[in-house]
Amino acid sequence: MIDRRRRTGAGKDRGVGALEYIGAIGIACLLIVTVVLAGLPAQIHQVATEAICKIIQQPGCAGQLALTPYQQALAGKYVAMGDSFASGEGAWDYEDGTNFDDRDDLWPFNDDEEDHNRCHRSENAYSQILAADNDFAGGDGFVACSGAVIDDFNDPNGANTDEKAQLDALDENTSLVTLSVGGNDLGFADVITDCVLNGESGVGFIDSCQEKHDKRIERRLPRLKQELITLYQKAKQKAPNARIVVVGYPPLFAQNPKDDYGNLLFGEDQKWMNEKAGDLNQILAEAAHESGVEFVDPTDAFKGHGLGTDDPWFNDLNWGGPGMMPVDPSSFHPNAKGHAAFAKLIQDQLENPGS
C-alpha cells in the first residue's frame, strides 16, 4: 500500500525546492543584469532599470539596480557656477563674450550705456576639463563669473552685461553642480590690495592689512556661513536630482613664505592670508555639511605649489590690466596647472565620494 502521507510530503518538498530554484535563478538574473547595467549610460540605465523591475517583480529591485553616485552625476546636465576661482580668471583662453568692455576709453560720461562683460570664463577652467572628461547626458552649462558674490546667484549680475542670476541655470534635469563662492563676499581682493600697500612690517603709524581686516573677517564669517547655507539649500531646491559639490579655496602662498618684493608682500602677511583661507574653508565645509551637500578641500593638493615655490599653480602680481586697471585681475588666481589640479580633485570626489 502506498503511503499517501509520505507521497504528499515528498511532493510538498519538491514544490518548495522548485520555488527556491526559481528564486535562485531570479537572483542570478538580477545580478547579471546589474553587471550589464553598470556599463550603460546613466539615462539608459534608469529606463532599463524600470523595465526590468516590472518584468521580474523582485522585492527591492530598484534599490539593487540604482545608479551609483558617479552615474547619478552623469545622468543629466552639469552646471558650473561661482566666482573667479570657478570661471578660470588667470587661466586665460576666455570665451567670446566674457572678455570685453566698451568702457575702455577716456570718455566716462556714457559708461552705463556701454556693454561690458569680464566674467572671464576660461576654456582651461576646472569645469571645462570635467565636461570634456565625462559624458554628461544633458551636456554642460558654464555660468561662473569673475567677481561674483552670493547675491549674483539670486539676482542678475549688474557688473556684467547679459549675466542672469546663476541659480537660473539649474532645474530638475541638472545632475551635477560645482560652485566656488565666498571669497569675494569676505573681501579677499581688498585684503590682498591692503597687504601690498601696507603689510604688517610696513608703515607703523598706519593700520596694517592684518589690523584692518582680521577682526572684520572674524565678525563676518558666522554671517557668511548662514548665507552659504541658504544658497546651498536654494541650489538643492532648484536642482533636486543633482549632486552639489562645493569647492574650497587653496592657500595662495608657500607654507613657509619669505619676504618677496616681486609681489610686494611680507612673509608674515602671506602666512596670515593662508590662515584666513583655511578659516574660510572651515566655514564652507560646515555650511556644506549642514546643507547636505558635498565639499572638496584643495588645501593639501596645492601644498608645495603656492606663490614662492618652484612650481606655483597661481599667477603672481601682474601690473597693467585691461582698460585703465593698474593691476591685471589674473593676479593671485590659479593658472591652468591649478585648474587641472582642481579638476582631478573633483573627479576623485565624483567617483569616490566620502573616500
Three cell numbers written together for 116: 561690458
- The reply to whether 96 and 8 lie within a common domain is no
Query: Are residues 40 and 80 both part of a single domain?
Result: no
Number of domains in the chain: 2
Say if residue 55 is in the same domain as residue 124.
Answer: no
Asked if residue 90 lies in contact with residue 330, where contact means CB atoms within 8 angstroms, the answer is: yes
Place of cell 593691476: 327
Which of these three, 16, 43, 64, is where a domain ends?
64
Q: What is the CATH number of the domain that holds 75?
A: 3.40.50.1110
pLDDT tens string 237-257: 999 999 999 999 999 999 999
User: Closest Cα partner for 115 from 46, 163, 45?
Assistant: 163
> Do 73 and 169 lie in a common domain?
yes
Say if residue 46 is in the same domain as residue 83.
no
- Cα separation, 241 vs 238, in Å, equals 9
| Spatial separation of the C-alpha atoms in residues 208 and 323, rounded to whole Å | 29
The reported pLDDT for the residue numbered 105 is 60
Domain extent, residue 16, equals 4-64
> Most confidently modeled of 20-29, 46-55, 149-158, 326-335?
149-158
* Boundary (domain end) residue, out of 24, 48, 64: 64
Q: Is 75 in the same domain as 52?
A: no
130-182 tens-digit pLDDT: 999 999 999 999 999 999 999 999 999 999 999 999 999 999 999 999 999 99
Strand order from edge to edge, sheet including 243-247: 140-142, 77-82, 174-180, 243-247, 294-296
Regarding whether 15 and 84 lie in a shared domain, the answer is no
Q: What is the pLDDT of residues 57-95, one digit of tens each?
A: 655 454 446 899 999 999 999 999 999 999 999 999 999
Arithmetic mean of pLDDT, 204-213: 96
Q: CA 196, CA 192: separation in Å to the nearest integer?
A: 6
| Amino acid at site 179 | L
Q: In this structure, are 52 and 108 located in the same domain?
A: no
CA distance 79 to 81: 6
Residues belonging to the chain: 355
Q: Measured between alpha carbons, how far is 80 from 175 in angstroms, rounded to an integer?
A: 11
- CA angle, residues 75, 79, 85, in degrees to nearest 5: 140
pTM exceeds 0.85: no
Confidence of residue 52 (pLDDT cuts 50, 70, 90): low
Q: Show Cβ contacts of residue 9 under 8 Å, excluding neighbours closer than 6 positions.
A: none
Q: Based on the domain organization, do 20 and 138 belong to the same domain? A: no
- Using the 3D structure, point to which of 47, 64, 81 is the last residue of a domain: 64
Same domain, 241 and 167: yes
202 contacts: CB under 8 Å, gap ≥ 6: 208, 266
Averaged pLDDT for residues 252-278: 94
Same domain, 305 and 279: yes
Distance CA 307, CA 260 (A): 10
Q: Are residues 172 and 251 in the same domain?
A: yes
